[in-house]
Structure 1
Amino acid sequence: MRRKGDLPSKPCAQCGRPFAWRKKWERVWEEVRYCSDRCRAEAKRERTE
Protein backbone atom coordinates (compact mmCIF):
# COMPACT_ATOMS: atom_id res chain seq x y z
CA MET A 1 0.00 0.00 0.00
CA ARG A 2 1.25 3.49 -0.85
CA ARG A 3 1.32 6.42 1.51
CA LYS A 4 -0.59 9.53 0.49
CA GLY A 5 2.67 11.46 0.32
CA ASP A 6 3.97 9.02 -2.33
CA LEU A 7 1.02 9.60 -4.70
CA PRO A 8 1.35 11.99 -7.63
CA SER A 9 -0.15 15.43 -7.28
CA LYS A 10 -0.70 18.53 -9.41
CA PRO A 11 -2.00 22.08 -8.89
CA CYS A 12 -5.64 22.94 -9.44
CA ALA A 13 -6.21 25.06 -12.56
CA GLN A 14 -8.66 27.30 -10.67
CA CYS A 15 -7.36 27.79 -7.11
CA GLY A 16 -3.74 26.69 -7.55
CA ARG A 17 -3.73 24.39 -4.52
CA PRO A 18 -2.11 20.99 -4.99
CA PHE A 19 -4.35 17.92 -4.99
CA ALA A 20 -3.41 14.25 -4.90
CA TRP A 21 -4.21 11.35 -7.21
CA ARG A 22 -7.36 9.37 -6.42
CA LYS A 23 -8.24 5.82 -7.36
CA LYS A 24 -11.37 6.99 -9.22
CA TRP A 25 -9.14 9.19 -11.43
CA GLU A 26 -6.84 6.27 -12.30
CA ARG A 27 -7.78 6.15 -16.01
CA VAL A 28 -8.26 9.90 -16.55
CA TRP A 29 -5.53 11.43 -14.36
CA GLU A 30 -4.03 13.36 -17.29
CA GLU A 31 -7.42 15.00 -17.98
CA VAL A 32 -8.20 16.01 -14.36
CA ARG A 33 -7.66 19.77 -13.95
CA TYR A 34 -9.66 20.81 -10.89
CA CYS A 35 -9.44 19.71 -7.26
CA SER A 36 -13.19 19.86 -6.63
CA ASP A 37 -16.63 20.36 -8.14
CA ARG A 38 -16.62 23.86 -6.70
CA CYS A 39 -13.45 24.85 -8.58
CA ARG A 40 -14.80 23.31 -11.79
CA ALA A 41 -18.07 25.28 -11.43
CA GLU A 42 -16.22 28.54 -10.71
CA ALA A 43 -14.02 28.09 -13.78
CA LYS A 44 -17.06 27.38 -15.93
CA ARG A 45 -18.84 30.44 -14.53
CA GLU A 46 -15.80 32.66 -15.29
CA ARG A 47 -15.67 31.44 -18.89
CA THR A 48 -19.30 32.33 -19.55
CA GLU A 49 -19.11 35.84 -18.09
Structure 2
Amino acid sequence: MVNKRDLPQKICPTCNRPFFWRKKWRLSWNTVVYCGEKCRRNKKNERCNSLV
Protein backbone atom coordinates (compact mmCIF):
# COMPACT_ATOMS: atom_id res chain seq x y z
CA MET A 1 0.00 0.00 0.00
CA VAL A 2 1.27 3.47 -0.89
CA ASN A 3 1.15 6.30 1.64
CA LYS A 4 -0.76 9.39 0.56
CA ARG A 5 2.25 11.60 1.26
CA ASP A 6 4.25 9.61 -1.32
CA LEU A 7 1.79 10.37 -4.13
CA PRO A 8 2.27 13.34 -6.48
CA GLN A 9 0.31 16.45 -5.62
CA LYS A 10 -0.75 19.72 -7.23
CA ILE A 11 -2.23 22.98 -5.96
CA CYS A 12 -5.72 23.85 -7.17
CA PRO A 13 -5.71 27.38 -8.68
CA THR A 14 -9.29 28.06 -7.53
CA CYS A 15 -9.20 27.04 -3.86
CA ASN A 16 -5.39 27.06 -3.36
CA ARG A 17 -5.51 23.68 -1.62
CA PRO A 18 -3.27 20.73 -2.40
CA PHE A 19 -4.80 17.67 -4.00
CA PHE A 20 -3.21 14.30 -4.54
CA TRP A 21 -3.03 11.89 -7.45
CA ARG A 22 -6.06 9.63 -7.85
CA LYS A 23 -6.30 6.32 -9.63
CA LYS A 24 -8.97 7.69 -11.99
CA TRP A 25 -6.45 10.33 -13.12
CA ARG A 26 -3.68 7.83 -13.90
CA LEU A 27 -3.88 8.41 -17.66
CA SER A 28 -4.51 12.16 -17.56
CA TRP A 29 -2.57 13.43 -14.51
CA ASN A 30 -0.60 15.90 -16.65
CA THR A 31 -3.79 17.60 -17.81
CA VAL A 32 -5.57 17.72 -14.43
CA VAL A 33 -5.74 21.31 -13.14
CA TYR A 34 -8.61 21.50 -10.63
CA CYS A 35 -9.18 19.37 -7.54
CA GLY A 36 -12.82 18.70 -8.33
CA GLU A 37 -15.92 19.55 -10.29
CA LYS A 38 -16.90 22.44 -8.00
CA CYS A 39 -13.58 24.22 -8.51
CA ARG A 40 -13.67 23.57 -12.24
CA ARG A 41 -17.13 25.20 -12.44
CA ASN A 42 -16.01 28.15 -10.30
CA LYS A 43 -12.83 28.86 -12.27
CA LYS A 44 -14.31 32.20 -13.38
CA ASN A 45 -14.17 33.36 -9.76
CA GLU A 46 -10.44 32.67 -9.72
CA ARG A 47 -9.79 35.70 -11.93
CA CYS A 48 -12.10 37.90 -9.84
CA ASN A 49 -10.42 36.86 -6.60
CA SER A 50 -6.96 37.69 -7.97
CA LEU A 51 -8.05 41.24 -8.85
CA VAL A 52 -9.23 42.02 -5.32
TM interval, shorter chain, is 0.7 to 0.9
TM-score (norm 1): 0.83
Which stretches in structure 2 are left out of the alignment for 5+ residues? 46-52
The structure with the largest helix share of the pair is 2
Shift of the alpha carbon at 1:16? 1.1
Structure 1 runs of 4+ off > 3 angstroms? none
Count of aligned residue pairs for this structure pair: 45
Which stretches in structure 1 are left out of the alignment for 5+ residues? none
| 2:25 pairs with 1:28 | no
Partner residue of 2:49? none
TM-score (norm 2): 0.79
